[in-house]
Structure 1
Amino acid sequence: MSLGWWRLVAAAFAGFLFFHGFSASEKAPNYSFMQNATSAPTLSYYDYIIVGGGTAGCPLAATLSQNATVLLLERGGSPYSNSNITSMASFGAALSDISRSSPSQRFISEDGVINARARVLGGGSCINAGFYTRAAPEYVRHVGWDGQLVNESYQWVEKLVAFEPPLGMWQSAVRDGLVEAGVVPFNGFTYDHTYGTKVGGTIFDQQGNRHTAADLLDYANPSGLTVLLHASVHKILFAIKGKGRRKAHGVSFRDATGAKHKAYLKEGSKNEIIISAGALGSPQLLMLSGVGPAAHLKAHNITLVLDQPQVGQGMSDNPMNAVFIPSPLPVEVSLIQVVGITDFGSYIEAASGENFAGGASSPRDYVKFSPQIGQLSTVPPKQRTQEAIGKAVEYMNNLEEAAFRGGFILEKVMGPISTGHLELRTRNPNDNPSVTFNYFKDPRDLQRCVQGIQTIKKIIESKSFSKFRYDYLSWPILLNMTASAPLNLLPKHYNPSMPLEEFCKGTVMTIWHYHGGCQVGKVVDLDHKLLGVDALRVIDGSTFNYSPGTNPQATVMMLGRYMGVKILSERLAN
């Protein structure tokens, strides 16, 4: 397909925004095409069926709806009626909510690290810290994407959901401390991924309102799109073609009452089912539908459609380690705004504030947020039980307010190189699968963590950051506060010779950037078509071999748009 076709299709779609009069500041809480799955017919037909209305699924659906009929199935609800999603001041509240109606579904990896997966229209962009940054040009070239279409797709996303953050004094001190620490040059405000220190974008606007991938449905053709909420897909349906080859031709899903529905593809050689259910949901659904390792599927009494041993393999989660720094001065409420992109494979980021946990009135809630969502670095991963979390929150309740004023500086390992795998626990698609990430299994990841922590030390001890630290809290004490005595300003014991390798292993947390399970070249081809099956693609972070940029959400949204343009250009050309 020529680049000319892509440009033609992209230009036609770009005009749609102006025609409908949408702007980046407007919200659409009641899309005419969005409805509860209980109102869906028992049987329906579409050109494209997309499973998962997340960070990739929404831009993909909006794009395909311009020239085809599209069904978008989302297992969660709408983000627009939930202030825990829409307000930056409430960040963390959704993550700490473990109810069945929460937009965040908690899971614990076999490594013992508590994590979260999205369960809401807009996906991870509804529950994350909002940082927006593109993938590196080298990443784009390596995966074989067309650079110009990638840039056009990023710009399409950015018109609605990306903003320049207002930088306060604490984030400015981190920025200047990074430069002092040698993470240079300073590249100013940019969405681009380049070595050095920069101010990145955010999906929170100047008023602190979150804009998500669901906002990209503003681009949709309302007559071409149907979005069903609380629609849980249980299985992809296959037909047998000549010589026994399978072709996806429908899906089976249930609404909130448990009623069963089926949606099928209309007749047509270009019509497809696209799975965009995320790095956990996509490999899980393939396995539940009979595509995966034969022995594993047999153990769960699942009829085999295709023996594909690579489904669920290559699972990775970028390990994160953080240091909490109490501040003698008040600090602004901020999520990720500044990032240091080092040349040794670690990204340095920071967050601060007094009500980080979500609309709380007490400064202590800023740090209590961490155990509430399972980010309990004070206890080794395997010991992070609900009882341990409860004890940590109780302990923090008894500390003075001054103990909670400050912020975190964190490092995230690039890549990572270490990988694991995913397996089914049950045949219920609403249950979490079993996933192992094998944090720091590769010693190169561990070394990157050590260098990242050493860079954090340089930032804290820099002249630029000096007014936000207590002189009597030395580096070993800060490590001890993070690693053993939760935020105790006067720890009774600390070990200044504690190896940083042990600190990395013992305080590892997630930054929610897990990926893999349906990787390009192993499960899908370069066009994201499932190998060995017709009319089925996977388009989301499960196809990544390593995480793009410092934070992947911009690239996942871009990918939905990018692949939508490519798919439609092929459709129009034929």
Structure 2
Amino acid sequence: MSSLIASPNYTFVKSAEHAPPISYYDYIIVGGGTAGCPLAATLSQKFKVLLLERGGSPYGNKNITNLAYFADTLADNSPTSASQRFVSEDGVINARARVLGGGSCLNAGFYTRASPQYARKAGWDWRLVNESYRWVEKIVAFEPPVLQWQSALRDGLLEVGVTPFNGFSFDHIYGTKVGGTIFDIDGYRHTAADLLEYANPDGLTVLLRARVERIMFRYKGKQRPVAHGVAFRDPAGTKHKAYLKKGSKNEIILSAGAMGSPQLLMLSGIGPRSHLESLGIRVLVDQPNVGQGMADNPMNAIFVPSPEPVEVSLIQVVGITKFGSFVEGASGSNFASPTSGEPPSRNFGMFSPQVLTQIKSVTVLFLAALSELGFSAVHRTTGQLSTIPPKQRTPEAIARAVHAMNNLGESSFRGGFILEKVSGPLSTGHLELRNRNPDDNPSVTFNYFKDPLDLQRCIKGIETIEKVVQSKALSKFRYPYISIEALLNMTANFPVNLIPRHDNDSKSLAQYCKDTVMTIWHYHGGCQVERVVDYDYKVLGCDALRVIDGSTFNSSPGTNPQATVMMLGR
């Protein structure tokens, strides 16, 4: 384990309680996540920078740093956890980061760049893009050890025509490849917070548990608002203010993510007039596009129970198809078995985040049925939930389901799942405030599969997974007497989201896509280029304010966005 993970010498990181009541900086960055950390490290070389992070440190938290405890990070929804759960208005369970390092502390670790075409469309300098990727990769990116199950997935993709094989590569290339990972050879996660190793300690102050309430503005010529400070509270609730020093180039930069950045703009008076006025927020800039264009790459999966032991693996191999769907997979006993020490606890709360529910709970149904480890009890207590609307699911029924799952043996969690996700969905939605409390999640709707072309791409993706499951390459890791239809039906009958189930006896893949849609945390939009910010990421309608994070994206870059978000911060 690297010394940086064990004990980073970040003398510039402290709790917000130690902040003075009033302070002054050249740049103030709100959000110490995947973009905010590399951005702060870069600016600190020449300027005095304040980085405000609403969460705590990732270091010393085994659920974050150790691959073996990946699922437990998402299961923890305590008030100070690194993961803040939210449920979209679509009924899909999701998570947003609340920790230094942001989503790179919660995700499955896959590291892959955006395509040159994506960069050109974004108006980026390709030479600078590549230099910035390499800057990131020196610290956080690794080549994964591809063992038996991932090798079988790779060979299965090639066997069914997702070609050519492009070997190990960070690049976004059609065909099948092995991508990078932010987990090192010992299974320890490296995050965007590690990029603070590049920072000038004399130029940077990082405050943890700093909850920004609003951006403060003054007026330029009594016409145009100019951002000049932020108001935030420390863990004790004490209010602090940080201001920009006088200087024409000094700025406040929002890097609070696709949920946090549009939320903070609205709380600060920049957003749709009618919506802000309905909450009693003074409107500084009537900007109807704030919170619009929200999209999430829909994910659907099929679990494949294995008669053979499988290695613990997160996302390593990807099939990049030309019809707009990416195929990936993960494997392991209990999804992630510990490499050392006591085993992680199994938390099968019915409202755990999507992927945790899919992996652990669908595994229960498949393998409990196969090994007769109480399938009838599990079916009685969980299967009934799938046809009952979310509001009618009683705490007693949920408790029985959780108890049944937690009492199954470790052998009930052997296998892998293969997923497909629709790239650049055409279906979009919107985000709105629920109230004026910055700690509360806003309301967000993604409108999964509203556009029929997205649904068609999901169907093609599922059909590709079906072929891979039946491929010769994967035969060692599947039970030959379990049909594809059985796998689909069992998955469709489990509550992987809060959407009421439909009868899938017609074997409609379109209905399967709708019923089993999940997130893989690639949501974006809300502060998009040419709508809320310009091509330099400056907020339209005001001065000294930018947004630099995934909220500016019109589509999610590459197969996974974290590499590009870190690159953008640099």
On the 8 A contact 1:283/1:312 being kept in 2, the answer is yes
The structure 2 residue matched to 1:383, chosen from 370, 390, 395, is 390
Does the 8 Å contact 1:160/1:215 carry over to 2? yes
TM-superposed deviation, 1:386: 8.3
Report what 2:379 is aligned to.
Answer: none
Give the CA deviation at 1:358: 6.9
Deviations 1:511-543 (A, max 9, x none): 011100000000000000000100000000000
Residues 1:123 and 2:102 are matched in the alignment: yes
Structure 2 vs 1, CA of residues 446 and 495 (structure 1 numbering), >3 Å: closer, same or farther?
A: closer
- 5 Å-filtered alignment, 1:100-179, equals 100-179=79-158
Aligned partner of 1:302 in structure 2 is 281
Q: Deviations over 1:427-457 (max 9, x none)?
A: 0100000000000000111111100000001
CA contact (8 A) 1:135 1:548 kept: yes
Gaps of 5+ in 2: 363-385, 497-502
Contact 1:341/1:347 (CA < 8 Å) preserved in 2? yes
Cα distance between partner residues in 2 of 1:108 and 1:486? 14
Q: Does 1:198 align with 2:177?
A: yes
Structure 1 pair 144–295 and aligned structure 2 pair: CA distance change class (3 A): same
Give runs of aligned pairs for residues 354-433 of structure 1, distance below 5 A: 354-356=333-335, 359=338, 368=348, 372-375=352-355, 376=357, 379=386, 383=390, 387=395, 390-397=399-406, 402-433=411-442
Out of 515, 526, 540, which is 2:524 matched to? 515
SS of alignment partner, residue 24 of structure 2: strand
What CA distance in whole angstroms lies between the structure 2 residues aligned with 1:60 and 1:381? 46
Q: Is the Cα contact below 8 Å between 1:318 and 1:414 reproduced in 2?
A: yes
- Cα deviation for residue 383 of structure 1 reads 3.1
In structure 2, distance between residues paired with 1:161 and 1:144: 26
Quick one: which of 447, 457, 462 aligns to 1:448?
Answer: 457
Counterpart CA distance in 1 for 2:545 and 2:494 is: 51
Q: 1:47 touches 1:265 (CA, 8 Å); kept in 2?
A: yes
Structure-2 separation of matches of 1:431 and 1:319: 24
Residue 381 and residue 152 in structure 1: after superposition, are their counterparts in 2 closer, same or farther (change >3 A)? farther
Matched, 1:265 2:265: no
* In 1: Cα distance, 2:495 partner to 2:79 partner: 30
Contact kept in structure 1, 2:72 and 2:345, CA below 8 Å: no
Give yes or no for contact 2:459–2:510 (8 Å, CA) kept in 1: yes
**Gap change, CA 1:243 and 1:400, over 3 Å in 2:** closer
- Residue by residue over 1:8-49, the C-alpha shift from the partner in whole angstroms, topping out at 9 and shown as x without a partner, is xxxxxxxxxxxxxxx997655341100100000000000000
Q: Is the 8 A contact 1:364 1:396 kept in 2?
A: no
C-alpha distance after superposition, 1:468-498 (max 9, x if no partner): 01110010011112111689xxxxxx96641
Report the TM-score when normalising by structure 1.
Answer: 0.89
Compute the displacement of 1:372 (Å). Answer: 3.4
Paired amino acid for 1:373: P
Residue 401 and residue 63 in structure 1: after superposition, are their counterparts in 2 closer, same or farther (change >3 A)?
closer
Q: Secondary structure at the match of 1:534?
A: coil
2:513 alignment partner, one of 504, 518, 524: 504
Q: Aligned-pair distance for 1:403?
A: 3.9
Structure 1 CA distance for aligned equivalents of residues 302 and 261 of structure 2: 34
Q: Contact 2:329/2:417 (CA < 8 Å) preserved in 1? A: yes
1:238 equivalent in structure 2: 217
For residues 200-219 of structure 1, what are the structure 2 equivalents within 5 Å?
200-219=179-198
TM-score (norm 2): 0.89
Do the aligned partners of residues 416 and 347 (structure 1) sit closer, same or farther apart at CA in structure 2, a change above 3 Å counting? same
Amino-acid identity (%): 69
CA shift, 1:356, in A, is 2.4
Query: Unpaired runs of 5+ in structure 1?
Result: 1-22, 488-493, 562-574
- For residues 134 and 290 of structure 1, do their structure 2 counterparts lie closer, same or farther at Cα, with a shift above 3 Å needed? same
- The residue identity in structure 2 corresponding to 1:153 is S
1:292 is displaced (CA, Å) by: 0.2
Rounded to whole Å, the distance in 1 between the matches of 2:87 and 2:135 is 35
Query: Aligned equivalents of 1:365 and 1:464: distance in 2?
Result: 33
Q: How many residues align?
A: 533
> Structure 1 residues 235 and 401, CA, compared in 2 at 3 Å: closer, same or farther?
closer
The answer (yes or no) to whether the contact 1:523–1:531 under 8 Å persists in 2 is yes
Q: Residues 200-257 of structure 1, C-alpha deviation per residue, up to 9 Å, x if partnerless?
A: 0000000000000000000000000000000000010000001511100000000000
Q: Counterpart amino acid of 1:313?
A: Q
